[in-house]
Structure 1
Amino acid sequence: MTSSLRDLKVYTTYPHRCSYLEAEEATTLFIDPRQAVDQTLYSNLSMLGFRRSGNHIYRPHCSHCNACIPARVPVNDFQPNRTQKRCIKRNSDLQVTVRSSVSSDESYALYDRYIRARHADGDMYPPDRDQFESFLNNPWDCTEYCEFRKDGRLLAVAVVDLMLDGLSAIYTFFDPSEDSRSLGRYAVLWQIERSKELGLPFVYLGYWIRNCSKMSYKSDYQPLETLINNQWTRSTEGLIETF
Protein backbone atom coordinates (compact mmCIF):
# COMPACT_ATOMS: atom_id res chain seq x y z
CA MET A 1 0.00 0.00 0.00
CA THR A 2 1.50 3.29 -1.10
CA SER A 3 -0.73 6.22 -1.89
CA SER A 4 0.26 8.79 -4.48
CA LEU A 5 1.24 12.08 -2.88
CA ARG A 6 -1.12 13.81 -5.30
CA ASP A 7 -4.05 11.87 -3.88
CA LEU A 8 -3.52 12.86 -0.25
CA LYS A 9 -6.01 15.07 1.53
CA VAL A 10 -4.57 17.75 3.78
CA TYR A 11 -6.06 20.10 6.33
CA THR A 12 -4.84 23.27 7.99
CA THR A 13 -5.42 24.40 11.54
CA TYR A 14 -6.69 27.80 12.55
CA PRO A 15 -3.87 30.18 13.51
CA HIS A 16 -2.65 29.42 17.02
CA ARG A 17 0.12 30.49 19.37
CA CYS A 18 3.54 29.45 18.07
CA SER A 19 5.35 26.99 20.34
CA TYR A 20 8.79 28.23 19.30
CA LEU A 21 8.74 31.97 18.65
CA GLU A 22 7.15 34.33 21.13
CA ALA A 23 4.49 36.69 19.77
CA GLU A 24 4.17 34.66 16.55
CA GLU A 25 1.10 32.85 15.27
CA ALA A 26 1.40 29.46 13.61
CA THR A 27 -0.68 27.47 11.13
CA THR A 28 -0.09 23.75 10.68
CA LEU A 29 -0.75 21.55 7.66
CA PHE A 30 -1.89 18.01 8.54
CA ILE A 31 -2.25 14.91 6.42
CA ASP A 32 -5.79 13.53 6.71
CA PRO A 33 -5.65 11.39 9.90
CA ARG A 34 -7.83 8.78 8.16
CA GLN A 35 -5.12 8.25 5.53
CA ALA A 36 -3.55 4.79 5.63
CA VAL A 37 0.21 5.21 6.09
CA ASP A 38 3.08 2.82 5.49
CA GLN A 39 6.83 3.24 5.70
CA THR A 40 7.14 4.28 2.04
CA LEU A 41 4.53 7.04 2.25
CA TYR A 42 5.92 8.22 5.57
CA SER A 43 9.45 8.35 4.11
CA ASN A 44 8.28 10.29 1.04
CA LEU A 45 6.49 12.82 3.22
CA SER A 46 9.56 13.22 5.39
CA MET A 47 11.59 14.06 2.29
CA LEU A 48 9.06 16.86 1.72
CA GLY A 49 9.59 18.30 5.18
CA PHE A 50 6.78 16.61 7.14
CA ARG A 51 7.19 15.34 10.70
CA ARG A 52 5.29 12.97 12.97
CA SER A 53 3.67 13.61 16.33
CA GLY A 54 1.81 10.53 17.52
CA ASN A 55 -0.42 9.40 14.63
CA HIS A 56 -0.35 12.82 12.99
CA ILE A 57 1.90 13.86 10.10
CA TYR A 58 2.29 17.62 9.86
CA ARG A 59 4.29 20.52 8.46
CA PRO A 60 4.31 24.24 9.37
CA HIS A 61 2.22 26.27 6.94
CA CYS A 62 2.42 29.83 8.24
CA SER A 63 1.44 32.64 5.90
CA HIS A 64 3.85 35.29 7.24
CA CYS A 65 6.73 33.23 8.63
CA ASN A 66 9.13 30.63 7.23
CA ALA A 67 11.38 30.21 10.26
CA CYS A 68 10.84 26.42 10.58
CA ILE A 69 13.30 24.81 8.16
CA PRO A 70 13.48 20.99 7.81
CA ALA A 71 17.00 19.73 8.52
CA ARG A 72 18.86 16.45 8.09
CA VAL A 73 22.42 15.19 8.53
CA PRO A 74 24.13 13.35 5.62
CA VAL A 75 25.73 10.79 7.89
CA ASN A 76 28.53 9.57 5.64
CA ASP A 77 30.02 13.07 5.48
CA PHE A 78 29.55 13.89 9.15
CA GLN A 79 32.68 14.35 11.27
CA PRO A 80 32.24 15.10 14.98
CA ASN A 81 33.83 18.31 16.19
CA ARG A 82 35.93 18.55 19.32
CA THR A 83 32.97 19.11 21.63
CA GLN A 84 31.06 16.21 20.11
CA LYS A 85 34.09 13.91 20.43
CA ARG A 86 34.27 14.74 24.12
CA CYS A 87 30.55 13.98 24.44
CA ILE A 88 31.02 10.58 22.79
CA LYS A 89 33.92 9.75 25.11
CA ARG A 90 32.01 10.93 28.20
CA ASN A 91 29.15 8.56 27.39
CA SER A 92 31.20 5.56 26.27
CA ASP A 93 30.20 3.78 29.49
CA LEU A 94 26.52 3.62 28.49
CA GLN A 95 24.79 0.50 27.24
CA VAL A 96 22.12 0.93 24.57
CA THR A 97 19.15 -1.40 24.09
CA VAL A 98 16.65 -0.99 21.25
CA ARG A 99 13.04 -1.85 22.13
CA SER A 100 9.72 -1.77 20.29
CA SER A 101 7.66 -0.17 23.08
CA VAL A 102 7.97 2.78 25.43
CA SER A 103 5.00 1.96 27.66
CA SER A 104 6.91 0.78 30.75
CA ASP A 105 6.50 2.52 34.11
CA GLU A 106 10.26 3.09 34.16
CA SER A 107 10.20 5.02 30.87
CA TYR A 108 7.23 7.12 31.92
CA ALA A 109 8.82 7.98 35.29
CA LEU A 110 11.89 9.26 33.43
CA TYR A 111 9.72 11.27 31.02
CA ASP A 112 7.79 12.75 33.95
CA ARG A 113 11.00 13.93 35.65
CA TYR A 114 12.35 15.32 32.38
CA ILE A 115 9.24 17.35 31.48
CA ARG A 116 8.90 18.77 34.99
CA ALA A 117 12.56 19.79 35.14
CA ARG A 118 13.17 20.98 31.57
CA HIS A 119 9.82 21.91 29.97
CA ALA A 120 7.55 23.21 32.71
CA ASP A 121 6.77 26.16 30.42
CA GLY A 122 5.87 24.00 27.42
CA ASP A 123 2.79 22.42 25.87
CA MET A 124 3.50 19.00 27.41
CA TYR A 125 3.40 20.25 31.00
CA PRO A 126 2.09 18.83 33.22
CA PRO A 127 3.12 15.36 32.00
CA ASP A 128 0.33 12.85 31.53
CA ARG A 129 0.57 9.10 30.92
CA ASP A 130 -2.01 9.02 28.11
CA GLN A 131 -0.40 11.97 26.36
CA PHE A 132 3.03 10.34 26.73
CA GLU A 133 1.94 7.12 25.07
CA SER A 134 -0.06 8.78 22.28
CA PHE A 135 2.77 11.23 21.51
CA LEU A 136 5.52 8.59 21.39
CA ASN A 137 3.58 5.61 20.09
CA ASN A 138 4.57 3.29 17.23
CA PRO A 139 1.72 3.87 14.76
CA TRP A 140 3.23 2.31 11.62
CA ASP A 141 5.50 -0.32 13.17
CA CYS A 142 8.69 1.55 12.30
CA THR A 143 9.54 3.17 15.65
CA GLU A 144 12.43 2.15 17.89
CA TYR A 145 12.95 3.15 21.51
CA CYS A 146 16.65 3.33 22.25
CA GLU A 147 17.36 3.05 25.98
CA PHE A 148 20.65 4.38 27.34
CA ARG A 149 21.65 2.81 30.65
CA LYS A 150 24.49 2.97 33.14
CA ASP A 151 24.81 -0.12 35.36
CA GLY A 152 21.18 -0.93 34.63
CA ARG A 153 19.82 2.54 35.49
CA LEU A 154 17.80 4.17 32.71
CA LEU A 155 19.31 7.56 31.87
CA ALA A 156 17.75 8.41 28.50
CA VAL A 157 15.35 7.23 25.82
CA ALA A 158 15.62 8.27 22.18
CA VAL A 159 12.49 7.75 20.09
CA VAL A 160 13.57 7.00 16.52
CA ASP A 161 11.57 6.25 13.36
CA LEU A 162 13.16 3.95 10.80
CA MET A 163 12.49 5.21 7.27
CA LEU A 164 13.64 4.10 3.83
CA ASP A 165 16.40 6.70 3.55
CA GLY A 166 17.34 7.30 7.16
CA LEU A 167 16.39 7.66 10.78
CA SER A 168 14.05 10.34 12.04
CA ALA A 169 14.90 11.69 15.50
CA ILE A 170 11.42 12.07 16.98
CA TYR A 171 12.14 12.87 20.63
CA THR A 172 14.67 12.29 23.39
CA PHE A 173 14.07 12.52 27.11
CA PHE A 174 16.65 11.96 29.82
CA ASP A 175 17.51 12.16 33.50
CA PRO A 176 17.75 15.91 34.30
CA SER A 177 20.30 15.18 37.03
CA GLU A 178 22.77 14.00 34.37
CA ASP A 179 23.30 17.36 32.65
CA SER A 180 27.06 16.91 32.51
CA ARG A 181 26.69 14.01 30.08
CA SER A 182 24.85 16.11 27.41
CA LEU A 183 22.57 13.15 26.77
CA GLY A 184 20.43 14.95 24.17
CA ARG A 185 23.52 15.70 22.09
CA TYR A 186 24.83 12.17 22.58
CA ALA A 187 21.53 10.64 21.43
CA VAL A 188 21.85 12.46 18.08
CA LEU A 189 25.48 11.38 17.68
CA TRP A 190 24.49 7.80 18.46
CA GLN A 191 21.70 7.92 15.85
CA ILE A 192 24.17 9.18 13.25
CA GLU A 193 26.40 6.16 13.91
CA ARG A 194 23.43 3.80 13.88
CA SER A 195 22.27 5.19 10.56
CA LYS A 196 25.75 4.53 9.13
CA GLU A 197 25.65 0.96 10.41
CA LEU A 198 22.26 0.41 8.79
CA GLY A 199 23.48 1.82 5.47
CA LEU A 200 20.99 4.71 5.60
CA PRO A 201 22.20 8.09 4.34
CA PHE A 202 20.38 10.56 6.61
CA VAL A 203 19.28 11.42 10.12
CA TYR A 204 16.29 13.77 10.03
CA LEU A 205 16.39 16.26 12.91
CA GLY A 206 13.06 18.01 12.44
CA TYR A 207 12.92 21.80 12.13
CA TRP A 208 15.87 24.12 12.53
CA ILE A 209 14.77 27.53 13.83
CA ARG A 210 17.44 30.23 13.99
CA ASN A 211 15.90 32.31 16.79
CA CYS A 212 14.77 29.44 19.00
CA SER A 213 17.49 28.03 21.27
CA LYS A 214 15.63 24.73 21.62
CA MET A 215 15.84 24.20 17.85
CA SER A 216 18.88 26.16 16.65
CA TYR A 217 21.33 23.61 18.14
CA LYS A 218 20.81 21.43 15.07
CA SER A 219 23.30 23.54 13.12
CA ASP A 220 26.00 22.03 15.38
CA TYR A 221 25.83 18.86 13.25
CA GLN A 222 27.79 19.53 10.09
CA PRO A 223 27.39 19.22 7.24
CA LEU A 224 23.66 19.89 7.53
CA GLU A 225 21.13 19.81 4.72
CA THR A 226 18.05 22.03 4.83
CA LEU A 227 14.90 21.97 2.72
CA ILE A 228 14.53 25.38 1.09
CA ASN A 229 12.14 26.04 -1.80
CA ASN A 230 11.45 22.29 -1.93
CA GLN A 231 15.11 21.44 -2.51
CA TRP A 232 17.53 19.90 -0.03
CA THR A 233 20.58 22.17 0.12
CA ARG A 234 23.78 21.61 2.05
CA SER A 235 24.85 24.43 4.35
CA THR A 236 28.31 25.86 3.81
CA GLU A 237 30.89 26.22 6.59
CA GLY A 238 28.23 25.92 9.27
CA LEU A 239 26.04 28.67 7.82
CA ILE A 240 22.41 28.11 6.89
CA GLU A 241 20.89 30.35 4.29
CA THR A 242 17.22 31.18 4.71
CA PHE A 243 14.74 32.44 2.18
Structure 2
Amino acid sequence: MRHTLPIAPQFYVTAPQPCPYLEGRMERKLFTALQGDTAGKLNDALSKQGFRRSQNVLYRPSCAECSACMSARIDVSLFSHSRSQRRVQKRADHLHRRATSPWATEEQYALFREYLDGRHAAGGMADMDMFEFAAMVEETPIKSRLIEYTEDESLRAVCLTDILDDGLSMVYSFFDPALERLSLGTYIILDHIAIARDLGLPYVYLGYWVPGSPKMSYKAKFKGLEVYRNGAWQPLSDANTYAADIHPLSTDPIAEQVARISLPDVRS
Protein backbone atom coordinates (compact mmCIF):
# COMPACT_ATOMS: atom_id res chain seq x y z
CA MET A 1 0.00 0.00 0.00
CA ARG A 2 1.36 3.46 -0.91
CA HIS A 3 0.48 6.80 0.63
CA THR A 4 1.73 10.02 -0.94
CA LEU A 5 1.97 13.56 0.37
CA PRO A 6 1.36 16.52 -1.99
CA ILE A 7 5.13 16.68 -2.48
CA ALA A 8 7.83 14.02 -2.32
CA PRO A 9 8.68 11.74 -0.59
CA GLN A 10 6.38 8.73 -0.84
CA PHE A 11 5.57 6.62 2.22
CA TYR A 12 4.98 2.87 2.38
CA VAL A 13 3.98 0.31 5.00
CA THR A 14 5.68 -3.03 5.56
CA ALA A 15 3.78 -6.28 5.91
CA PRO A 16 3.28 -7.43 9.52
CA GLN A 17 6.04 -9.61 10.97
CA PRO A 18 6.94 -10.89 14.47
CA CYS A 19 7.95 -8.12 16.88
CA PRO A 20 11.60 -8.36 18.00
CA TYR A 21 10.86 -6.64 21.33
CA LEU A 22 7.57 -8.00 22.71
CA GLU A 23 6.76 -11.69 22.40
CA GLY A 24 3.56 -12.64 20.66
CA ARG A 25 3.06 -9.31 18.88
CA MET A 26 3.37 -8.27 15.27
CA GLU A 27 5.23 -5.20 14.05
CA ARG A 28 4.62 -2.99 11.03
CA LYS A 29 6.71 -0.02 9.86
CA LEU A 30 5.96 3.19 8.00
CA PHE A 31 8.95 4.02 5.79
CA THR A 32 10.26 6.18 2.98
CA ALA A 33 13.38 6.26 0.81
CA LEU A 34 16.28 8.52 1.71
CA GLN A 35 18.05 9.70 -1.42
CA GLY A 36 19.10 12.67 -3.52
CA ASP A 37 20.32 16.13 -2.63
CA THR A 38 17.61 16.61 0.02
CA ALA A 39 18.41 13.43 1.96
CA GLY A 40 20.13 15.31 4.79
CA LYS A 41 17.26 17.72 5.35
CA LEU A 42 14.72 14.91 5.23
CA ASN A 43 16.70 12.85 7.73
CA ASP A 44 16.96 15.83 10.08
CA ALA A 45 13.24 16.60 9.85
CA LEU A 46 11.94 13.05 10.23
CA SER A 47 14.36 12.15 13.02
CA LYS A 48 12.65 14.88 15.04
CA GLN A 49 9.36 13.04 14.39
CA GLY A 50 10.37 9.64 15.65
CA PHE A 51 11.90 8.15 12.50
CA ARG A 52 15.11 6.15 12.40
CA ARG A 53 17.54 5.47 9.55
CA SER A 54 18.60 2.09 8.17
CA GLN A 55 20.87 2.47 5.12
CA ASN A 56 18.84 4.57 2.66
CA VAL A 57 15.49 4.11 4.40
CA LEU A 58 13.77 6.13 7.15
CA TYR A 59 11.19 4.27 9.23
CA ARG A 60 9.15 4.34 12.41
CA PRO A 61 6.79 1.77 13.97
CA SER A 62 3.17 1.83 12.85
CA CYS A 63 1.74 -1.33 14.37
CA ALA A 64 -1.97 -2.00 13.99
CA GLU A 65 -2.83 -2.59 17.67
CA CYS A 66 0.26 -1.54 19.58
CA SER A 67 2.07 1.75 20.21
CA ALA A 68 4.64 0.59 22.74
CA CYS A 69 7.74 1.52 20.71
CA MET A 70 8.79 5.13 21.22
CA SER A 71 11.77 6.94 19.74
CA ALA A 72 14.13 8.05 22.50
CA ARG A 73 16.73 10.78 22.80
CA ILE A 74 18.80 12.35 25.57
CA ASP A 75 18.60 16.08 26.22
CA VAL A 76 22.31 16.70 26.72
CA SER A 77 21.68 19.84 28.82
CA LEU A 78 19.70 17.78 31.36
CA PHE A 79 22.00 14.78 31.55
CA SER A 80 24.09 14.02 34.61
CA HIS A 81 25.89 10.81 35.50
CA SER A 82 24.44 8.37 37.98
CA ARG A 83 26.87 6.67 40.34
CA SER A 84 26.93 3.51 38.27
CA GLN A 85 27.50 5.50 35.07
CA ARG A 86 30.44 7.29 36.67
CA ARG A 87 31.92 3.88 37.45
CA VAL A 88 31.39 2.79 33.84
CA GLN A 89 33.07 5.97 32.62
CA LYS A 90 36.07 5.40 34.86
CA ARG A 91 36.49 1.71 33.98
CA ALA A 92 36.47 2.34 30.22
CA ASP A 93 38.22 5.70 30.04
CA HIS A 94 41.42 4.00 28.91
CA LEU A 95 39.83 3.33 25.51
CA HIS A 96 40.92 5.51 22.63
CA ARG A 97 38.24 7.04 20.43
CA ARG A 98 38.72 7.67 16.72
CA ALA A 99 36.17 8.85 14.16
CA THR A 100 36.43 7.49 10.64
CA SER A 101 34.49 7.65 7.40
CA PRO A 102 31.69 5.03 7.05
CA TRP A 103 33.85 2.41 5.39
CA ALA A 104 33.59 -1.22 6.52
CA THR A 105 36.70 -3.24 7.38
CA GLU A 106 37.31 -6.92 8.07
CA GLU A 107 38.32 -6.05 11.64
CA GLN A 108 34.98 -4.36 12.23
CA TYR A 109 33.10 -7.28 10.75
CA ALA A 110 35.00 -9.76 12.95
CA LEU A 111 33.98 -7.78 16.04
CA PHE A 112 30.43 -7.49 14.71
CA ARG A 113 30.25 -11.30 14.37
CA GLU A 114 31.55 -11.78 17.92
CA TYR A 115 28.93 -9.36 19.18
CA LEU A 116 26.05 -11.05 17.35
CA ASP A 117 27.16 -14.54 18.33
CA GLY A 118 27.52 -13.49 21.96
CA ARG A 119 24.46 -11.24 22.36
CA HIS A 120 21.99 -11.74 19.50
CA ALA A 121 22.57 -15.21 18.05
CA ALA A 122 18.86 -15.64 17.36
CA GLY A 123 18.26 -12.09 16.12
CA GLY A 124 17.32 -10.90 12.66
CA MET A 125 20.90 -9.86 11.84
CA ALA A 126 22.52 -13.14 12.90
CA ASP A 127 23.13 -14.30 9.32
CA MET A 128 24.62 -11.07 7.96
CA ASP A 129 27.73 -11.65 5.86
CA MET A 130 30.53 -9.21 5.12
CA PHE A 131 28.78 -7.75 2.08
CA GLU A 132 25.58 -7.09 4.02
CA PHE A 133 27.58 -5.56 6.85
CA ALA A 134 29.37 -3.30 4.39
CA ALA A 135 26.02 -2.21 2.97
CA MET A 136 24.74 -1.37 6.46
CA VAL A 137 27.79 0.80 7.11
CA GLU A 138 28.47 2.35 3.73
CA GLU A 139 25.05 2.90 2.16
CA THR A 140 24.42 6.28 3.72
CA PRO A 141 23.36 9.33 1.69
CA ILE A 142 23.94 11.64 4.65
CA LYS A 143 26.77 12.73 6.93
CA SER A 144 27.77 9.66 8.96
CA ARG A 145 30.81 8.52 10.90
CA LEU A 146 32.10 5.30 12.38
CA ILE A 147 33.19 5.94 15.95
CA GLU A 148 35.75 3.28 16.91
CA TYR A 149 37.02 2.53 20.40
CA THR A 150 40.38 0.80 20.67
CA GLU A 151 42.68 -0.57 23.36
CA ASP A 152 46.35 -1.03 22.44
CA GLU A 153 45.32 -0.87 18.75
CA SER A 154 42.76 -3.65 19.26
CA LEU A 155 39.19 -2.78 18.29
CA ARG A 156 36.79 -3.06 21.23
CA ALA A 157 33.65 -1.21 20.15
CA VAL A 158 32.13 0.58 17.16
CA CYS A 159 29.16 2.87 16.62
CA LEU A 160 27.71 3.98 13.28
CA THR A 161 26.63 7.55 13.98
CA ASP A 162 24.67 10.08 11.92
CA ILE A 163 25.33 13.79 12.43
CA LEU A 164 22.01 15.64 12.48
CA ASP A 165 21.41 19.37 12.65
CA ASP A 166 20.31 19.00 16.28
CA GLY A 167 22.28 16.03 17.53
CA LEU A 168 23.96 12.68 17.06
CA SER A 169 21.92 9.65 16.03
CA MET A 170 23.36 6.31 17.14
CA VAL A 171 22.31 4.14 14.21
CA TYR A 172 23.94 0.89 15.38
CA SER A 173 26.62 -0.02 17.90
CA PHE A 174 28.43 -3.26 18.71
CA PHE A 175 31.28 -4.28 20.98
CA ASP A 176 33.36 -7.13 22.37
CA PRO A 177 30.89 -9.26 24.38
CA ALA A 178 33.74 -10.73 26.42
CA LEU A 179 34.35 -7.34 28.06
CA GLU A 180 31.08 -7.40 29.99
CA ARG A 181 32.72 -5.77 33.00
CA LEU A 182 33.29 -2.57 31.01
CA SER A 183 29.57 -2.12 30.16
CA LEU A 184 30.58 -0.92 26.71
CA GLY A 185 27.03 -0.33 25.51
CA THR A 186 26.52 2.22 28.28
CA TYR A 187 30.00 3.67 27.77
CA ILE A 188 29.38 4.33 24.06
CA ILE A 189 26.26 6.33 24.93
CA LEU A 190 28.11 8.29 27.61
CA ASP A 191 30.86 9.11 25.12
CA HIS A 192 28.34 10.26 22.51
CA ILE A 193 26.86 12.61 25.09
CA ALA A 194 30.36 14.03 25.59
CA ILE A 195 30.85 14.38 21.81
CA ALA A 196 27.49 16.14 21.44
CA ARG A 197 28.44 18.59 24.19
CA ASP A 198 31.77 19.32 22.50
CA LEU A 199 29.97 19.99 19.20
CA GLY A 200 27.25 22.10 20.80
CA LEU A 201 24.52 19.66 19.73
CA PRO A 202 21.51 19.39 22.08
CA TYR A 203 20.48 15.74 21.63
CA VAL A 204 21.72 12.17 21.34
CA TYR A 205 19.19 9.92 19.59
CA LEU A 206 19.20 6.34 20.91
CA GLY A 207 16.68 4.52 18.76
CA TYR A 208 13.56 3.05 20.33
CA TRP A 209 12.61 2.53 23.95
CA VAL A 210 9.98 -0.13 24.59
CA PRO A 211 8.32 -0.48 28.01
CA GLY A 212 8.05 -4.14 28.90
CA SER A 213 11.12 -5.11 26.84
CA PRO A 214 14.09 -6.12 29.06
CA LYS A 215 16.58 -5.53 26.25
CA MET A 216 15.49 -1.86 26.07
CA SER A 217 15.28 -1.11 29.80
CA TYR A 218 18.82 0.32 30.03
CA LYS A 219 17.83 3.44 28.08
CA ALA A 220 15.49 4.59 30.85
CA LYS A 221 18.50 4.86 33.19
CA PHE A 222 19.86 7.96 31.43
CA LYS A 223 18.82 11.27 32.94
CA GLY A 224 17.38 13.73 30.47
CA LEU A 225 15.73 10.99 28.39
CA GLU A 226 12.81 12.05 26.19
CA VAL A 227 10.40 9.86 24.22
CA TYR A 228 8.37 10.72 21.13
CA ARG A 229 4.74 10.04 21.98
CA ASN A 230 1.46 11.30 20.54
CA GLY A 231 3.29 13.53 18.06
CA ALA A 232 5.57 15.30 20.54
CA TRP A 233 8.73 14.79 22.60
CA GLN A 234 8.12 14.47 26.34
CA PRO A 235 10.43 13.86 29.30
CA LEU A 236 10.52 10.30 30.61
CA SER A 237 9.99 11.03 34.29
CA ASP A 238 9.06 7.54 35.52
CA ALA A 239 9.47 4.53 33.25
CA ASN A 240 6.99 2.56 35.35
CA THR A 241 4.13 4.84 34.28
CA TYR A 242 4.43 3.64 30.67
CA ALA A 243 2.73 0.43 29.63
CA ALA A 244 2.93 -1.84 26.60
CA ASP A 245 -0.77 -2.66 26.67
CA ILE A 246 -2.46 -3.51 23.39
CA HIS A 247 -5.45 -1.45 22.34
CA PRO A 248 -7.16 -1.66 18.91
CA LEU A 249 -7.43 2.14 18.71
CA SER A 250 -3.87 2.92 19.83
CA THR A 251 -2.61 3.62 16.29
CA ASP A 252 -4.17 6.11 13.89
CA PRO A 253 -4.86 5.11 10.27
CA ILE A 254 -1.80 5.28 8.03
CA ALA A 255 -3.23 8.08 5.87
CA GLU A 256 -3.72 10.26 8.96
CA GLN A 257 -0.19 9.53 10.18
CA VAL A 258 1.28 10.52 6.83
CA ALA A 259 -0.82 13.67 6.62
CA ARG A 260 0.62 14.88 9.94
CA ILE A 261 4.26 14.42 8.93
CA SER A 262 6.05 17.75 8.62
CA LEU A 263 8.42 17.87 5.66
CA PRO A 264 11.40 20.21 5.29
CA ASP A 265 11.43 23.10 2.83
CA VAL A 266 13.74 21.77 0.13
CA ARG A 267 13.49 24.73 -2.20
CA SER A 268 16.79 26.37 -3.12
Q: Give TM-score scaled by structure 1 length.
A: 0.93
Aligned equivalent of 1:192: 193
Q: Cα RMSD over matched residues?
A: 1.9
Aligned equivalent of 1:143: 144
Which of these two proteins has the greater Rg computed from alpha carbons? 2
Gaps of 5+ in 1: none
1:183 to partner: Cα distance = 0.6
1:35 to partner: Cα distance = 6.6
Aligned equivalent of 1:115: 116
Moved over 3 A (4+): 4-7, 32-37, 237-243
CA spacing shift, 1:176–1:63, aligned 2, 3 Å: same
1:21 to partner: Cα distance = 1.2
Aligned equivalent of 1:156: 157
CA spacing shift, 1:156–1:30, aligned 2, 3 Å: same
SS at match of 1:136: helix
Matched letter for residue 143 of structure 2: C
Distance, in Å, in 2 between the alignment partners of 1:240 and 1:187 is 27
Tell me the alpha carbon deviations over residues 110-137 of structure 1, each in whole angstroms, 9 at most, x when there is no partner.
Answer: 1111111111110011231122122222
Gaps of 5+ in 2: 244-249, 251-268
Distance, in Å, in 2 between the alignment partners of 1:106 and 1:37 is 33
Distance, in Å, in 2 between the alignment partners of 1:25 and 1:238 is 23
Aligned equivalent of 1:169: 170
1:62 corresponds to 2:58: no
1:46 to partner: Cα distance = 0.2
Between the two proteins, the alignment pairs up a number of residues equal to 240
Aligned equivalent of 1:15: 16
CA spacing shift, 1:10–1:155, aligned 2, 3 Å: same
Tell me the alpha carbon deviations over residues 71-103 of structure 1, each in whole angstroms, 9 at most, x when there is no partner.
Answer: 110001100100000000001111100000341
SS at match of 1:49: coil
Higher relative contact order (CA closer than 8 Å, sequence separation 6+)? 2
Distance, in Å, in 2 between the alignment partners of 1:163 and 1:140 is 13
Q: Give TM-score scaled by structure 2 length.
A: 0.84
CA spacing shift, 1:170–1:201, aligned 2, 3 Å: same
Contact 2:211 2:239 in 1 (8 A): no
